Amino acid sequence: MRLSCISTLAGIFFSSLVTAQLSGTVGPTTSTASKAATKVCNILDYGGVASTSTDNGPAILAAWTACVAGGEVYIPAGDYGMATWVTLTGGTGVAIRLDGILYRTGTASGNMIFVEHTTDFEFFSSTSAGAMQGYGYVFHAAGTYGPRLLRLAQVVGFSIHDIALVDSPAFHLSLDTCSNGEVYNMIIRGGNEGGLDGIDVWGTNIWIHDVEVTNKDECVTIKSPASYMLVESIYCNWSGGSAFGSLGADTDIHDITYNHIYTQNSNQMLLLKSNGGSGSVYSCSFTNFMGHSNAYTLDIDGYWSSETTAAGDGVLYHDLTFSHWHGTCLNGGTRAAIQVLCPSGAPCYNIDIEAFYIWTEAGSEVLYKDENAYGTGGGLNTGSSYTAYAVVTKTVTSVPAASYAITTMAADLTAGFAISASIPIPAVPTSFYPGLSPISAKLG
């Protein structure tokens, strides 16, 4: 169980950001050891076979049923085929210890592992070597999509850590209306195309940290409704970048913090995206972003053309802070490094941009582009009328006064993974942001 205060737990000091952004404790309410002491349900005792030619889905379901009231579902080291998907529901005080590797062999849509209506739950590898291999390239080479790898819905008091999710046929990890959770020490690698989201999350009081994502789509993205989330030490390594959205009717997102986000060779460092819709995004902060070779950098787009226009005057963005951004964009004269395009029916306000040190890798200028946007920095309108106005473009021709230099990561990829070949299973990293150690050491 993690604490949302500055305290020491297992020798780890939690940052003040945890206090500021989370609304309570996160993680399972009983320990890993106590779950295992209650009962261990080894899938090999329920018909499982360490073979990629065996369908281990029924064995996983049977082991869950045996341990659903408390215990540990254990998948030992080894290679396991999985042809039928499992819906694991109604658990209390239960863990899934994945020390082996699950290989997708079935072709159904849906979710390979779907955990729902469960409390006090943990999904982890005790060796940090457990993985799910989705072999998504088989679908993608044919121009189709398949199942998600892992989805949680209405799960309370949980953690997911020390595993690799690789080559999903669709989204890798979805957290649907979950609360009081923690996700950390993970690596996600998908193919180089859209529709293969890394982590999508909505719910409340969730801490996501020390995660690396490669996929050319969403890195770690907040969906609506969402509140009191802390996302930190994230490595978007050849990705689509982090985002909020797509946002539509009745959007309700607030009290979200992103801190220490490293992004390279991605579509953007951050995109808040909507097209029409209603509701609001407010009381959020985005600090210590670092990156290079990204197409867009800071992008609020209330007219995001890739989304069908939703009914309403537009999502209202207000009281958002962006501070201490360092690095480069690919071509700041072609794609604005700061782009704040708010709906005319809902002009955004109190958008504060400070300590923004981004320069361009091509050309000698950087554009700032704003529309219906009020606040400080970034060429924003500083007035208080909050009325609609047309696009205003500011051209910056001088290098930032403060250094825009960054520290790159040794594992930076120079190309994405093909959609027509299998993606190798990587090791969980030991660093997710330049100069920072993981908040929790790898179990392995």
Reply yes or no on whether 292 is catalytic. yes
Confirm if 63 and 71 have CB atoms less than 8 A apart. Answer: no
CA 228 – CA 249 distance, rounded (Å): 20
Tokens 């949980």 sit at which residue? Answer: 158
Closest CA to 236 of 283, 297, 285, 322: 297
Residues 6+ apart with CB under 8 A from 80: 43, 48, 49, 50, 51, 52, 54, 56, 100, 101, 102, 103
CA 287 – CA 258 distance, rounded (Å): 6
> For residue 24, what are the CA distances in angstroms to 10, 30, 207, 286, 383?
19, 16, 11, 21, 37
Reply yes or no on whether 99 is catalytic. no
> For residue 100, what are the CA distances in angstroms to 128, 150, 164, 227?
10, 16, 11, 34
CA 82 – CA 57 distance, rounded (Å): 5
Which is catalytic among the residues 217, 255, 299, 370?
217
Which is catalytic among the residues 292, 299, 318, 370?
292
User: Strand, coil or helix: what is 137?
Assistant: helix
Residues 6+ apart with CB under 8 A from 8: none
Confirm if 269 and 296 have CB atoms less than 8 A apart. Answer: yes
Q: Dump the DSSP string for 317-358.
A: EEEEEEEEEEEEES-TTTS-SEEEE--TTS-EEEEEEEEEEE
Written as one letter, the residue type at 220 is V
Active site residues: 217, 292
